Chains A and B, each alone.
Chain A
Amino acid sequence: MADKPQEIRFKAPIICAVILHVIIAVALLVDWPSSHEPPQDNSYVQATLISSQTRTPSPSPENDTAKGEARQAQPQAEEQEQEQEQEQEQEQQQAAAEQQQQEAAEQQQQEQQAAAAQQQQQEQQAAAAAAAAAAAKKEEQQRQQAENARQAREQAAKEAEQKAAADKAAKEKAAQEKAAAEKAQADKAAKEKAAKEKAAAEKAQADKAAKEKAAKEKAAKEKAAADAAARKKRMAAAAASDNSALSSASGSGEKNSSKAAQGAQAANSMMNVIRHAVEQNWNKPDNLPSGIKTTLRVRLIPATGELINVSVSSSSGDSSFDQSAVQAVQRAAPFNELGNAPASVQRQFRSFTLTFNPEDVR
């Protein structure tokens, strides 16, 4: 029940659409010739005139034709320019017909109209031709023959041209594709090159860093060796000076000053002994924030170097870090070397501070 009105409702738009299509198709076809026709009509009319009165008014109307055609499509305009000197109604008609045929092939719906139009045009053509033939039969025949021949030539030329154009397009396309492929390849190569260069740079950097590290380590080792040697020397010197100082109790002013210098040297070497022992016994925590620092107050028995007491005098704020420092001193003690040092040096190490300030953090 409800289907029928729906059917009707559906039919109406379809019909409308078909009608609209037909109208559009007709309009298109009519439009083609109509935009063609005004000039063509002129040219037809004039063509008939021309064909009878061959040479007189040809330039201006032909120019018009050319203009009209140029508006339509370039190839046609070109063709017409080539054929400027001759009348060519038929050819134009045929060309138009050909075009129509092409379009007809594209749009089946327009086929009938196209055929009709073609027929109509052919009829017109025929009428015109008949009129022309009636006017000048012989001439016409000759001309027709010549024209046919030229037409064939031109057709061949046109085909050749089309082929050339197609070839050119194909070539261009191939060239473009080749260029694109080359570009892609070049891009890829560039990318690979860049990646390689980067890798090389990275490797170079890593190598450099490794070399620098090795150099640093070597320098550090050498320095440590030098330090150790210097310390030994200083200790020996200090011991010698101490002995000489003890043996020659009464010395001149000059001797006193050299004794003071030797005492300073001995103090220095004692500092190195303590530093070395503490560093060796310090289980330095890792992942320390940079700038972390703690100061300990250390009290020793001067005669033996035994630890009386170690306490945090300035905390780092990190109790584990402070504790690791305290432990280092506790583990490093006693500092027996102090027992052999001059009394003046022993006095200096009765109480002193140790500042833990790691340079290589993280």
Chain B
Amino acid sequence: MRRLAAFTGLFLMLAISAVARADLDIQITRGSNDAIPIAVTSFNANGQQVPQNVSDIITNDLRNSGKFAPLSSSNLIATPAPGDQIDYAAWQNTRASYLVDGRVESTGNGYKIVYELHDVFGNKREISANVTGSEAQLRQSAHYVADQIFEKITGIRGAFRTKIAYVISTGVDPNMSFSLYVADQDGYNPRRVLSSNEPILSPAWSPDGSKLAYVSFEGKRPSIYVQQLATGNRIKLTSFKGINGAPAWSPDGRKLAMSLSKGGSPDIYVMDLGSRQLSQLTHGSSINTEPNYAPDGASLIYTSDQSGQPQIYRYNFGSGQSQRVTFTNRYNAAGHFAPDGSAIFFVTRTSQGFQAAKQDLASGRLTVLSKTRFDEAPTVAPNGTMVVYATEKGGRGILGATSADGRASFEIPVPDGNVQEPSWSPFTK
């Protein structure tokens, strides 16, 4: 009996393992690099006049991220309203993976956006929510909706409510004027925060987004200033002999890295903002400038011509040593870290000209992101998905933008004049 039981047990085990082996597994190792198709309905307001086209704002945000391919409005089969039963099978025929629908309601002193996100092939509602704000905040409210959709689908925090600072120059030398602006990331609502008849350079956001450090040539000599955006109050931080340039905040906001030539050639220094104590990081006769902190604060990158051509180097605060980072082209400058520290964005010189590029730090692989020829000063969105850079079009300085994956590229509208030195804000709030 016992023997029989053991035999039966063994047989069963074999049978089970045979069944398990028969269970198929298919390996998926490749995918499409296409953006995710998404449908955004018109967000109509029941016939009411709304000062902003909320649907367009959301659609542009999603498209500019490079991760979404919004369907053109002619491909939308219906305009369901929040709460409606969705005919998922019908929407599946549009091949849209997701559907965003909603409407705008007037609240008397502002507007409420009611919105929903549907997983079309999963046949389910992913988000059903609303956001309320004043009329002046309507654009920001729409960006908020885009942020929520973006994060729900990609798992990445949306950066559509962040800002970009840039400098606009107008007039012809010697009658030029310079203005420092802060605008929404899509270029809307530009606000002038400083004007001068002398150049303004290198605006840099403090990590909390409340202050801008910049270089101003007021009084004909460069000085580094720090300005509170809310009040406009500012202090002159440095005014050393020679160059006072390229301020860059440490991630904790307590230090400012900069390039000073008070010792002869421009070198990288770090100033403790509390004590105003300076420490010098680089030495020698080469030009060292454009520092940018790694997100963990343990290192910073900077541009140096010590090899004869501008290349990007990484200074490690632990070892006090610098190592060259870029090797692919002969000119690589103005580096900025990706927010996760895995890559750097910079300007590289290719056979096409000066182009915004990205280099993965682990593999060293360089990817050219832009199609323009005179790019400078790329700056990265705080979620790492988009890059903005100053470039040229028709002999005029403009703001070019590209998704970090290179899929989407577009232009950011700015006030009249030549735009230079963009700087993307951190997350606010």
Any B CB within 8 A of the CB of A104: no
CA distance A164 to B63 in the complex (A): 85
A355 to B23, CA, bound (A): 13
Q: Is A88 an interface position by the 8 A CB rule?
A: no
Q: Can you name the residue of chain B whose Cβ is closest to the Cβ of A220?
A: B30
Known: A319-B155, A348-B22. A359 touches B307 (CB 8 A): no
Nearest CB of chain A from residue B269's CB, rounded to whole Å: 27
Q: Are B29 and A357 in contact (CB under 8 A)?
A: yes
Report B31-56 CB contacts with A as 1/0, cut-off 8 Å: 11111100000000000000000000
Q: Does B342 contact A (CB under 8 A)?
A: yes
Which one of A284, A320, A330 lies within 8 Å of B31 (CB-CB)? Answer: A284
Nearest A residue to B154 via CB reads A320
Q: Is A55 an interface residue (CB 8 A)?
A: no
* Cross-interface CB contact of A286 among B25, B362, B405, cutoff 8 Å: B405
Check A274/B405 contact, CB under 8 A, given A284-B31, A285-B154, A328-B31.
Answer: no
Contact of B330 among A199, A282, A321 (CB under 8 A): A199
In contact, B24 and A271 (Cβ under 8 angstroms): yes
User: How far is it, in angstroms, between the C-alpha of A195 and the C-alpha of B122 when the chains are bound?
Assistant: 57
How many interface contacts (CB-CB < 8 Å) are there between A and B? 108
Q: Are B24 and A282 in contact (CB under 8 A)?
A: no
**In residues 352-366 of chain B, which contact A (Cβ within 8 Å)?**
360, 362-363
B135, CB-defined interface residue at 8 Å? no
Given contacts A283-B32, A318-B155, contact A352 B25 (CB under 8 A): yes
Which residues of B are found within 8 Å of A323, using beta-carbon distances? 153
Contact, CB under 8 Å: B34 / A283: yes
User: B8 within 8 Å of A by Cβ?
Assistant: no
Q: Which residues of A contact B95 (CB under 8 A)?
A: 331
Q: What's the nearest-Cβ distance from chain A to residue B101, in Å? A: 19
Q: A195-B309, A202-B328, A362-B362 are in contact. Are A328 and B28 (CB under 8 A)?
A: yes
In the assembled complex, the CB of A301 is this many whole angstroms from the nearest CB of chain B, namely 16
B156: A residues at CB distance < 8 A: 320
The answer, among B30, B31, B340, B384, for a CB contact under 8 Å with A283, is B31
Which of A192, A267, A275, A351 contacts B28 (CB under 8 A)? A275
A318 contact set on B, CB distance < 8 A = 155
Tell me which residues across on chain A come within 8 A of B25, comparing CB atoms: 295, 352-355
The SS class assigned to the A binding surface is helix
Chain A window 268-289, contacts with chain B (Cβ cutoff 8 Å), 1 for yes, 0 for no = 0001001100111111111100
* Cα A352 to Cα B36 with chains together (Å): 26
8 Å CB interface, B1-41 against A: 22-36
Known: A318-B155, A362-B363. A282 touches B28 (CB 8 A): yes
Interface presence of A356 (CB below 8 A): yes
A235 within 8 A of B: no
Please tell me if the beta carbons of A327 and B97 are within 8 angstroms of each other in the complex: yes
- Report the separation of the CA atoms of residues A328 and B23 in the bound assembly, to the nearest whole angstrom: 21
Closest to A362 in B: B360
Contacts of A326 in B (CB 8 A): 122
> Is A44 at the interface (CB under 8 A from chain B)?
no
Cβ of B395 within 8 Å of any chain A Cβ, yes or no, is no
Q: Determine the interface band of chain A, counting residues with CB < 8 A from chain B.
A: 35 or more
* Cα separation A282 to B32 with both chains bound (whole Å): 6
B72 contacts partner chain A, Cβ-Cβ < 8 Å: no
Flag if B119 contacts A327 (CB, 8 Å).
yes
8 Å CB contact of B32 from A284, A352, A359: A284
Q: How far is the CB of A122 from chain B (nearest CB, A)?
A: 58
CA distance A331 to B94 in the complex (A): 11
Pairwise interchain contact A206-B328, C-beta atoms closer than 8 A? yes
> Which B residues, 111 to 125, have Cβ-Cβ distances below 8 Å to chain A?
119, 121-122
- Check A282–B31 contact: CB distance below 8 A: yes
Are A283 and B36 neighbours in the complex by a CB distance under 8 Å? yes
B329 close to A (CB within 8 Å): yes
Q: In the complex, which residues 380-401 of chain B have their Cβ closer than 8 Å to any Cβ of chain A?
A: 384
A275 with B27: CB separation less than 8 A: yes
A358 in contact with B30 given A202-B328, A318-B155, A331-B97 (CB within 8 Å): yes
Q: Which residues of A contact B363 (CB under 8 A)?
A: 362
CB-contact partner of B121 in A192, A195, A278, A330, under 8 A: A330
- The yes or no answer to A360 lying at the interface (CB within 8 A) is yes
Q: State whether the Cβ of A325 lies closer than 8 Å to any Cβ in chain B.
A: yes
Q: Select from chain B the residue with minimum beta-carbon distance to A333.
A: B121
In the assembled complex, B410 has its CB within 8 A of some CB on chain A = no
For the complex, is A191 an interface residue (Cβ under 8 Å from B)?
yes
Give the Cβ gap from A132 to chain B, nearest Cβ, in Å: 68
B327 at the interface (CB under 8 A from A): yes
**Which single residue of chain B is at the shortest CB-CB distance from A353?**
B25
How many angstroms between the C-alpha atoms of A362 and B29 in the bound complex? 14
Tell whether, in the assembled complex, residue A287 and residue B342 are in contact, meaning their CB atoms are under 8 Å apart. yes
* B340, chain A: closest CB distance, angstroms: 8
Known A-B contacts A202-B330, A320-B153, A331-B97; the reply to A358 vs B26 at CB < 8 A is no
Question: Given known contacts A195-B308, A202-B330, A286-B405, is B28 in contact with A355 (CB within 8 Å)?
Answer: yes
A321 to B415, CA, bound (A): 40
How far is B31's CA from A357's CA once the two chains are assembled, in angstroms? 10
Cα separation A285 to B407 with both chains bound (whole Å): 13
Q: Is the CB of B28 within 8 A of A357?
A: yes
Q: Known pairs A327-B97, A354-B25, A362-B342. 14 more at Cβ < 8 A?
A: A202-B327, A202-B330, A275-B27, A280-B32, A283-B97, A286-B405, A320-B156, A326-B122, A349-B24, A353-B26, A354-B26, A355-B25, A358-B29, A362-B362
- CB-defined A-B contacts under 8 Å, sample of 14: A191-B308, A275-B27, A278-B26, A287-B384, A320-B154, A324-B31, A326-B122, A331-B95, A352-B26, A355-B25, A355-B28, A356-B28, A359-B30, A360-B29
